[in-house]
A and B are shown apart, each in its own frame.
Chain A
C-alpha cells in the first residue's frame, strides 16, 4: 500500500463525518447549558422552548442526539468512516455505564412496573449487567456509543411521550409520611438532561476524534471543559441572583443633583467641615429613622468597614512578624513544625469558637460593665485573620530565593537589614494575597459579631460608628480617647441575619423584609468586592516593583 506510511501521519479526508460529529458535540454542549439554565429557572420547565413545551423540546433533542451517536458507532463499526477504535471502551467506562443503567433499571422496575424493592433490584442488576456487557465487550466504537445513545433516547422518549411531564411529581413511598419527600419535574428533569448531555456529548466527542487515543482525549476534554464552565456558571448565577434580587431595594429613590444629598459634618480632633453630597442614595446613606421613607444600611456599612480595617491593622503586623521569626530566625525543627500545625488548626477553627472567646475574654475587658463593642469585634476578627496571614506570609517568605539572602550577606549586610530590604519586599505580594483571602472571610462573619459586637441591628444614620470623629485629645493619659470603639454597633452580615431571621425588620418599619435582605446582601457583596479591589491593586503595586515590564 503506497499511502500506508503517509496515512498514519496525515489523516484521510473526514470532513463530512467530522462536521456532523462536531455538530452533535455542539448540540450536547447547548443541551448541557439548557439543563443548567433549567436548574435555576432561567429556562422554565413548565414553559415553552422554541414553540414546544420545554420538556418536549428537550426530549426531541435528546432522541435525535442519541440516535446520531448510535449511528456514528455503527458507521464506524461498518467501516464507513475511517476511525481508529480500540478493542474495548475500557473498564472505567463500563463501570460507569453499568452504574447508570442499574439506576435506570432499578427505578423503572420498582416504580413504573411496580415490582417493589426486590423486583426493582433484580431488574436493575439485569439492566446494569447488560449495560456493562454492552460497553465492555464490543469494539470501542460500539461500546462507547450504544449505551450512551440508548440512555439519551430513553430519557428523550420519557419526556417526549409525556411520561414525565411538566407537572409530574413523584413521592417515593419508602419515606414515612411525616418526612415525605417529593421530587418535581422541575427538580429532576434538568439533572436528567444534564446527565444525558454529558454522556451523549462524551460519546460524540469520542466519535469526532475517531475513537482511539485521540477520541479518548477529546471525550475527556469535553467533560473537563463542561465541568469548568458549570462551576463558573454557578458562581455567575449566584452573583447575578443577588444582583437581580437586590438591585431594586438598593436603588430605591436614588436622586442625583447638586445639594440633594444628606449633609455630612466631617469632624476630626475638634475641627469640622460640612459637606452636602450631590447624590441621594437612601439605601446606602440612611439608617433607620422615623423621618425617612427608605430604611438604609449606612451604619452597617460603616461598621463592616471599621471591623475590617481594625482586624487588618491588628493581624498584619503581628502575622508578618511571626512569619519573619518562624522563617528567618527560628531553627527549622520540632518547634516550627508544631507552630505550623497549630496555625493551620487555628485557621480551620469554627468562627463561633472565636466569638465565644471574644465574649468571654474581650467583652468584659474594656468597660466597667461587660459591653459588646466595636473594639471587641475588631480584635476577635483580627485573631481569626491572624493564622491565615501567618501561613501565607510564611509561604511567601520561604518562596523568596536564598540567592537574595546570600547576595546580601556577601555584601556584609546584616540579617535584619536583609529581611527588611530584600525578603519582606519580595514576599509582599504573597502577604497581600493572604490578606485578601482573609478579608473576604472575616467581612462576612456573623457568628462572632453576634457575641462580641452586635447591638440593635437597626440604628439611625446618626448613630453609626463615628470612629474618626470621636478621637478626642486630652491632657491626661491616655491623651487620645475614642469612646466610639467601646460602643456596640452593627455590621452588614449581622444585620442581614437579624432582618431575615429575628424579625427586627418589622419593628424598624421595613415593609418588604425579603427585598431588604437581598439589598443588604448585594451591598455586602459590593463591600467585599471593594476590599478585594483594593487588595488586588495593592498586590499589583508591590508586584510591579519586583518585576520588569
Chain B
C-alpha cells in the first residue's frame, strides 16, 4: 500500500504503514472524521473485559443518526460485544467490565443515575435468533408498552374506564406495518407467535422493538438464521427504517453490509476496530491491508 492515500470527504487521513498494526494517528483521524448526519451515538475509548479476557480494545466511533451502520468482522472479534454496550445489555453478564464512554445524544450512558428502562426504550435491540415470547402476536407487540404502563388493557382498566384497547390496536397495526408483517398476520393477531415462520418471527421481534418507539435500533446478525428470501425482506426493512431511525447492524455477511449500510466498521481479531468509513470506501479502497484482505475474502 502506498504512503499517500486519496482524500475522502475532504478529510485527509494518514495510511496504515504496516499491515496488522493500527496506527495511533489513523485512529485519531477517524475520530475527527465527520459523516453526513448529526452524531447519534458517540463512543470513546471503550474497553470491555470478560474476566481476564480483553474483548474490546479502546474503540472509538461516532454513529450518525438516520443511517445504517454495519459492524463486520470475523467471529469473536467483539462486534456483538460492542453492540451490546450501546444499550448496556452487557450489564447482564456478571463478569463483564466496561471502561470508556458511550454518549447518546450527548448524554453519557455509563454513569450513575441512568434509567435503564428509558435507555433501552430509546435504544431497541433485535437478536440473532428470532425470540418472540410464547404469547399471541398482539401480546408480543404490546408487551413493552404494557410493562412500561404506557398501555393498560387489563381487567381493572376496563372496569374503571381507563381501557387503552383502541390505542393498543393502533399500536399493533402501526408496528406490524412498519415491520412489513401486517398483511401476513392481520387476521390472526391472537394466534401464538410460535406458529410463525422464522422470517416472520424475526420481523415480529422487530415490530416488538418498534412498538416502544426507539430512536436507535441495534441488530445482532438479524438475518443469519434466515433463508435468502426472508433475509431480503429484513434487508429491505433495514433500509426503510434508516429514514427514521438510527440502525446499527452486526453482520457476518460482507455482501449484506455492502448492500444495506451507509458506513461500515471493520473489527478484526482481538477486539480492535481497524477501520471505520463510508461503506463504499471500505469495500472499494480501504486504508488497511488487513481490511482489504478481509472484505475481499482472503481471510476470516
Docked Cα-Cα span, A545 to B124, in Å, equals 27
Contact call B121/A412, Cβ cutoff below 8 A: yes
- Which of B19-27, B156-164, B190-198, B279-287 binds A? B190-198
Task: Render A387-413 as a binary contact track against B, CB cut-off 8 A, 1 for contact.
Answer: 000000000000001011011111111
Which B residues are CB-close (under 8 A) to A403? Answer: 127, 129, 131
A547: interface (CB < 8 Å): yes
Q: Which residue of A lies closest to B120 (CB)?
A: A412
A426: interface (CB < 8 Å): yes
Which B residues are CB-close (under 8 A) to A175? Answer: none
Contact call B143/A410, Cβ cutoff below 8 A: no
A463: interface (CB < 8 Å): no
Which A residues are CB-close (under 8 A) to B119? Answer: 412
Docked Cα-Cα span, A404 to B143, in Å, equals 12
Which B residues are CB-close (under 8 A) to A417? Answer: 147
Docked Cα-Cα span, A417 to B89, in Å, equals 17
B274: interface (CB < 8 Å): no
Task: Render B183-219 as a binary contact track against A, CB cut-off 8 A, 1 for contact.
Answer: 0000000011111000000000100110010000000
Known: A410-B89, A412-B212. A547 touches B192 (CB 8 A): yes
Partner of B131, one of A404, A414, A548: A404
Docked Cα-Cα span, A403 to B127, in Å, equals 9
Known: A406-B89, A547-B194, A548-B194. A411 touches B124 (CB 8 A): yes
Q: Which residue of B lies closest to A407 (CB)?
A: B131
B134: interface (CB < 8 Å): yes
B199 to nearest A CB, angstroms? 16
Docked Cα-Cα span, A548 to B124, in Å, equals 27
B99 to nearest A CB, angstroms? 22
A421: interface (CB < 8 Å): yes
A419 to nearest B CB, angstroms? 12
Which A residues are CB-close (under 8 A) to B212? Answer: 411-412
A422: interface (CB < 8 Å): yes
Count B interface residues, CB 8 Å: 32
Which B residues are CB-close (under 8 A) to A408? Answer: 133, 143, 147
Docked Cα-Cα span, A412 to B118, in Å, equals 7
A546: interface (CB < 8 Å): yes
Q: Which residue of A lies closest to B143 (CB)?
A: A411
Task: Render A410-440 as a binary contact track against B, CB cut-off 8 A, 1 for contact.
Answer: 1111100100011001100000000000000
Docked Cα-Cα span, A414 to B147, in Å, equals 8
Which A residues are CB-close (under 8 A) to B193? Answer: 548
B144: interface (CB < 8 Å): yes
Contact call B147/A421, Cβ cutoff below 8 A: yes
Q: Within B230-278, which residues are at the interface with A (CB < 8 Å)?
A: none
Contact call B133/A410, Cβ cutoff below 8 A: no
Docked Cα-Cα span, A426 to B193, in Å, equals 14
Docked Cα-Cα span, A412 to B89, in Å, equals 10
B118 to nearest A CB, angstroms? 7
Partner of B116, one of A401, A412, A545: A412
Contact call A412/B148, Cβ cutoff below 8 A: yes
Partner of A410, one of B87, B118, B132, B135: B87
A542 to nearest B CB, angstroms? 10
Q: Within B132-162, which residues are at the interface with A (CB < 8 Å)?
A: 132-135, 143-144, 147-148
B142 to nearest A CB, angstroms? 11
Partner of B120, one of A404, A410, A421, A547: A410
B267 to nearest A CB, angstroms? 21
Task: Render B65-89 as a binary contact track against A, CB cut-off 8 A, 1 for contact.
Answer: 0000000000000000000000101
Which A residues are CB-close (under 8 A) to B118? Answer: 412
Which B residues are CB-close (under 8 A) to A413? Answer: 117, 143-144, 147-148
Contact call A411/B144, Cβ cutoff below 8 A: yes
Q: Which residue of B lies closest to A405 (CB)?
A: B92
Q: Which residue of A lies closest to B116 (CB)?
A: A412
Which B residues are CB-close (under 8 A) to A410? Answer: 87, 89, 120, 124-125, 127, 209
Q: Which residue of A lies closest to B139 (CB)?
A: A421
Docked Cα-Cα span, A50 to B132, in Å, equals 64
Q: Which residue of B lies closest to A411 (CB)?
A: B144
Q: Which residue of A lies closest to B91 (CB)?
A: A409
Docked Cα-Cα span, A318 to B129, in Å, equals 35
Task: Render A261-301 as a binary contact track against B, CB cut-off 8 A, 1 for contact.
Answer: 00000000000000000000000000000000000000000
Which A residues are CB-close (under 8 A) to B134? Answer: 404, 425-426, 545-547
Contact call A406/B127, Cβ cutoff below 8 A: yes
Docked Cα-Cα span, A401 to B193, in Å, equals 15
Which A residues are CB-close (under 8 A) to B133? Answer: 404, 407-408, 422
Contact call B148/A407, Cβ cutoff below 8 A: no
Docked Cα-Cα span, A406 to B209, in Å, equals 12
Given A408-B143, A410-B209, A414-B117, 13 other A-B contacts at CB below 8 A?
Answer: A404-B131, A404-B133, A406-B127, A407-B131, A407-B133, A408-B147, A410-B120, A412-B116, A412-B212, A413-B117, A421-B143, A545-B134, A546-B134
Can you identify 17 A-B contacts, CB atoms within 8 angstroms? A403-B129, A406-B89, A407-B208, A409-B89, A409-B120, A410-B120, A411-B120, A411-B121, A412-B117, A412-B148, A412-B212, A413-B143, A413-B147, A414-B147, A421-B147, A422-B133, A548-B195
Interface set of B (CB-CB < 8 Å, partner A): 87, 89, 92, 94, 116-121, 124-125, 127, 129, 131-135, 143-144, 147-148, 191-195, 205, 208-209, 212
